[in-house]
Amino acid sequence: MRHLLDTKHLSREDALRILDVAEDMRDTQSREVKKLPTLRGKTVVNLFFEDSTRTRISFEAAAKRLSADVINFSAKGSSVSKGESLQDTAQTLQAMGADAVVIRHGASGAPQTLATSGWITAGVVNAGDGTHEHPTQALLDAFTIRRRRFGDDSRGRDLAGVRVAIVGDILHSRVARSNVWLLHTLGADVTIVAPPTLIPQDLSAWPVQVAYDLDDAIAAAPDAIMMLRIQLERMNAAYFPTEREYSRRWGLDATRLRALPEGSIVMHPGPMNRGLEISADAADSPQSTVLEQVANGVSVRMAALYLLLAGDRSDTNAQEDAR
Amino acid sequence: MTSTESPRTVMHAADIARALTRISHEILESNKGPDDLVVLGIPTRGVTLAERVGGLLAEISGTPVPVGALDVTMYRDDLHRNPTRTPHPTEIPAGGIDGKTVVLVDDVLFSGRSIRAALDALNDIGRPAAVRLAILVDRGHRELPIRPDFVGKNLPSARAERVNVRLIENDGVDEVTIES
């Protein structure tokens, strides 16, 4: 793997490889010494053009647990606010010897541009671009579903037959897009649930079923229900009348939580708007995997950085197994 | 005379079984019994051998001996010179390794770099009272000051030759071959 840009083009084999390596990484995180020497001497740059707390610190923790050096770069207060282009920023990082660039950008496709432009030789990890994709979030979600289902027996398994409902702002959500592609690749059945205004107009290429009523979707007994954050900062038009109405019709409240089948899980990528898309009862219930998702995020990002950075980056030097 | 091109079998199933039985007796002799022993195999074939040695130790001493797996991938010093390796699970027996005598088991000892990585990995898991090394085939060409405590067979080899250990659990047959 040279880059991790999206889940749409991620093969089933590569996806399972990341998830299986993440299992090994997870095992090391319960030890007294959580740090591995694997990426000693490598430099990972967190290049964040958009605000993010949990994704950035998750990548930072992942890189540090693998002994890589981490440079955090946020657009606020940087030369970007003075008008520097992505190309100049990238070339500056290249000159500083970055081995991997973790990029979050408001423009869909910015990581792709960075990876294919020839400006840098570093591995590029997409940490969320516009309304396009957020692959590591989808990978950690799949990892969480798989662990809840199979426990320590998770290695090598896909999600065939698992039914997942993704509820909320599908239109603006890169998390939803990455999850749809990855869950489909892993064999899960995905239903998206949202008001018609928050569903993309053309879904012909999406391997999903669509529901407009959350109670119908819950009655269909999903194995996992993924509540998306209502992205108030992206709401420049009126997609629903009021927050209260949204909460009443598409929010996961205590009544709907009780209607979910036993053993199903409630997921949220965070940060949560408590009382809007998810009630406190649902967020804090034993079915909720919110904190597991955060913990698993570090393991999955360690796996991605390991697979991107540990091997020979020229991809030609296939030596025999030196003992 | 076999041609140097074709693989030559240097240990058959019976030879491997005898070597493992002898190693197990030697481990019990040097440890003065089975107390506080933990046998850890290095994936993949070291784990198979560790399971066999653990079984033999229990059979000979009448006391079960904990067996586990220690993956060293993340601790290797040659990661960046090879295509990305997929790690294997590490399984440490429930009692841990603190204060125990850990016997590391691997199939072939060559440069010694895997064992250096294994010692680093152990360091992050706990502090054993002692670490011993059991090897099925020692083929020489050490690059580090590491020596085995228990050896199945010393096999003088040229650096370019290839030593293959095949085990029933992994490969369907018990044999050690050498080819140039």
User: CATH number of the domain that A143 lies in?
Assistant: 3.40.50.1370
pLDDT value for A73: 86
Contacts of A284 (CB under 8 A, 6+ apart): none
pLDDT of residue A36: 94
Note the pLDDT of residue A314.
Answer: 63
Evaluate whether residue A314 is within a structural domain. Answer: no
Both A37 and A177 in a single domain? no
pTM value is: 0.90
Tell me what pLDDT residue A76 has: 73
Please tell me whether residues A104 and A26 are part of one structural domain. yes
Instruction: Looking at the structure, tell me whether residues A261 and A231 fall in a common domain.
Output: yes
Token pair for A296: 């698993």
Predicted local distance difference test score (pLDDT) of residue A235: 67
- Altogether, the residues listed in chain A come to a count of 323
Q: Provide the domain count of chain A.
A: 2
pLDDT of residue B4: 55
Domain ranges of chain B: 8-73+96-179
Do A175 and A194 fall into the same domain? yes
Residue A127 phi/psi, 5-degree rounding, is: -105, 30
pLDDT at residue number A322: 37
Q: Which residues of chain A have pLDDT under 70?
A: 77-83, 234-237, 314-323
* Minimal C-alpha gap between A310 and chain B (Å): 6
**Is A318 among the domain residues?**
no
Nearest to A21 among B87, B90, B120 (CB): B87
Minimal Cβ distance to A312: which of B80, B87, B114: B80
Which has the closest alpha carbon to B100: B128, B120, B124, B121?
B128
Q: Closest approach of chain B CAs to the CA of A38, in angstroms?
A: 5
The pLDDT of residue A61 is 97
- From the list B79, B106, B110, the residue facing A38 with the nearest CB is B79
- Measured between beta carbons, which residues in chain B are less than 8 angstroms from residue A311? 79-80, 82-85
Which stretches in chain B have pLDDT values below 70?
1-5
Give A222's contacts (C-beta < 8 A, 6+ positions apart): A163, A164, A165, A191, A260, A261, A264
Query: Where in the sequence is the domain holding A74, given as residue range(s)?
Result: 12-134+295-309
Residue B144 contacts A, CB cutoff 8 Å: no
Co-location of A38 and A129 in the same domain: yes
Tokens standing for A148?
Answer: 């809840």
Candidates A168, A150, A283, A152; CA nearest to A227 is: A168
Compute CA distances B36 → B20, B24, B102, B107, whole Å.
Answer: 20, 15, 8, 23
**Contact residues, chain A, for B90 at CB < 8 Å:** 24, 27-28
Identify whether residues A172 and A105 lie together within a single domain: no
> Tell me, what's the ipTM?
0.82
For residue A236, what pLDDT is reported? 66
Contact A166, A153 (CB under 8 A): no
CATH topology of domain B8-73+96-179: Rossmann fold (3.40.50)
